[in-house]
Structure formats: structure tokens, C-alpha cells
Structure 1
């Protein structure tokens, strides 16, 4: 997540850890839960956020956005009230725990947007309006991950590669390319609750017109439920395959 204010650009990571959280000798975060015998180990989220901030800064420089030293910062938010950090003051300053977050909570009549801006206000001088506008434009036009929404409210971010399956099904899906399609939805062809052998794939065509944009145009094809989406998840070395029968929808970045 990226938050842009007039003073600073924040790279924000939210981790829903619970239990007792400590920092191991190797820098990993160790999460112990009373109901589990084995502790969970996680890569240092602060270090990951710093790397993401560094990558973002390099990207902005390539796009011609010159930022002052220290303009990009990062925060790691731990919002779960069932998390206890040990020791409480032993975590980097970039970390915001649930207790710290609630102390920043606005009054009932306060505006949420003002609260968020205040929570991340650094005391730095405002950037020039022209620089902020340029930065806002570059961020809005930056590439983003594709997203596969799986059944059970799970999702995977990464890059859509191709469809795999019977030749006739792949041929029917040939028009689904990121240059033409922004979203696909998978629907059953049966209304009786049985596992269908074929599924309906709805896909919306992109509308690049800047004026008079209308509702997206939807097309549909019917293919076998065993047809697969080949997907490269972010930060993973191996590709994954998802059967259409396990997918609810997919968003493709432009």
C-alpha cells in the first residue's frame, strides 16, 4: 500500500499477526500462539517494506520524478489486538502496534482522512504542488499486479501468463489478453448445485476513451471447468496453475 501526503510518500505494510511476537537472533519475526506447539517464523516485514520503498524510489527516478532525500518512508502496521510484542519497545520505529494505532484514533466528529494524514504527518515541509501532481500522475499510471480471486475469499497477486487446457477451450479464450480485457468472472452453467463440467467465463473489454466512457462491454464464452489459469505469484520462483472451477474472478492490470 502507498500513501501520498504533501510532505511524504509512505510505503505501508499491514500484518495481521496474533500471539506473542519477538525478534529472533537471525532477524526473523517469531510468532508464538498458545494453541499451537510450533512457532511461526516470518521474514522481517520492516526490512521487506524498506526494500519495497527502495524499489519504488528507483522506479520513480526512472520515470523522471526527482525526490528529496528521505521523502519516501515506510511503516508496518500490526492491527490485531490479540498481538503482544516482546519487548514492547524492542521493535523498529517503523512499527505501529494496535495500542499505538488506537491512541491515534480520531474523535467521533473528526474526519477520517484528517486522522490518517495526522497519523503519518512527519513535520516535513510541503512539496511543491507541481511535484505532487507529477508524483500523483506517475503513481496512478504505475503497473500493478494481476489478481486471481479464489473461492473462499482468498486471492493471489502476481502476473497472469496464459490459459492451459483443451485446444478448443484455449482457442475460445484467445481474446482474453491484458491489452483488451480488464476483468473476468467465472460462473456456473448449472443452477442445481452440481459440479458443472463446463463454466461460463465473462470478460469485460477495456475502454480507452477519455471522453464519454460508458458501461464496460461484456463478452462470454463457455469452456471446460478443468481449464487452468497459469499464474506467476509475486515473490515466488515457481508458477502456479488454478483450475477455473476454483476461481471466482481475475483482474488484469493494463
Structure 2
């Protein structure tokens, strides 16, 4: 679990760094600009680390399935070489996804307005500026981004259904421990995937609410990841309880 958490944390850091610094600069600046090359770089890096994030979350779901449903075989199945292969596959999948998004966008002719209604360079806002018919490109974006997110989300939900079916026969204490292990991961998955599916699993249109939903999967969900996984740690829970207890005694 901690092996995957290390890479998830690194992915979170890189992912939010592609958007947050530029967003903070734009909030302070009167004129918000970005060059074409930097815009394409931001598009590529955002989808690269976003894709890696999605695949790592899927790998973590598989890790939990093996840990709960096949505990006696866990060490054999989730060996270090197997874990390294999963991380390599996550990085490769993220790169292929990002490269496809970039290739769909970089060859489009941009000859009209140069303002995007977004706080970072994404595919749909850029397609709106293209001086050509982008219907086919929009469908390819749905196949590339929307269906990838949908399939991984379905795989995640199926894995948790199998886990719930398995732990029904467990004793109450073991069942509670298994649910605690999965609860934080389900919360992270919902915070991340629901906004992604809302934006990318639809035709090539942009809505005013897109910027709000994009905040969830680019900043808010990533910001909650350390908090959610930290509060699962027993030592951290004890420390929080002691701190709250001391504050209550101090006030009284």
C-alpha cells in the first residue's frame, strides 16, 4: 500500500504543479497570458500526470482486492517486481494518453480569437478556438479521455463490489478493518473521477461550470489525498484525538 502511496504522492505533486503556479500568477496579474508553446506543454503535462494518477488509483484498487480477497497469496502476487511493472504500466499509459491528446490538438489551425474560457490549457477550450470543423477531434477526445476514465472507474467499482461480497463472511472486527482500508480510497476515487467524467464524457462543448469541476480533479482532490490517507493511520488518529482532548481541557 505504501509503495503505491509514494508514487501517488509524487504524481499528485507533479500534477498540481502543472496548473497551480500559473493559476496563482494569473490571479495576481491584470493581463493573463500564456504562449502557444507553454500552452501545449501545459496540455501535455496535465494529461500526462492526470493519466498516471488514474492508472495508479486503479493499481491501488487491485492491491486492495488482493490484500482482502486473497490475503494468503498477497506477498506472492504483489511482489516488488509485480509492483514495479504496475507503476511502469501506469507511466506508459499516462504518456500514451497525453501524447494522443497533444497530437489531436497541436496540428489544428488557430487563426481567430486567442482567448480560452478556462484557467489552464485543456482540449475542449482549445478546440473552440480552432478554425476548422472539430467534430471528429471531439469524438476522439471522448474515446481517449472519457472512455479511459469511464472504464477505469467501472473497474474500480467492480473491484469494490467483489471486496464487499468477500467480506460479508468475515468477523465483525475484520470486516471493519477491511472497510476502513477501502473507505479512504473510495473517497479519493469519487472526488477525482466524478468531475473528470462530467467534463470528458460528453460532446465537444464548454460550460461555465467546467472551471469549477476542473478545480476538483486538478487541485482539490489532490489536496485532500494526503489528509485522507494520513487520517487512516492509527498513530495519526491517536495524535489528533490527543490534540482535540487537550484543546477541550484547555478551554474548560
Q: TM-score range by the shorter chain?
A: under 0.3
Structure with bigger helix share is 2
What TM-score results when the alignment is normalised by the length of structure 2?
A: 0.23
Q: Which has the larger radius of gyration?
A: 1
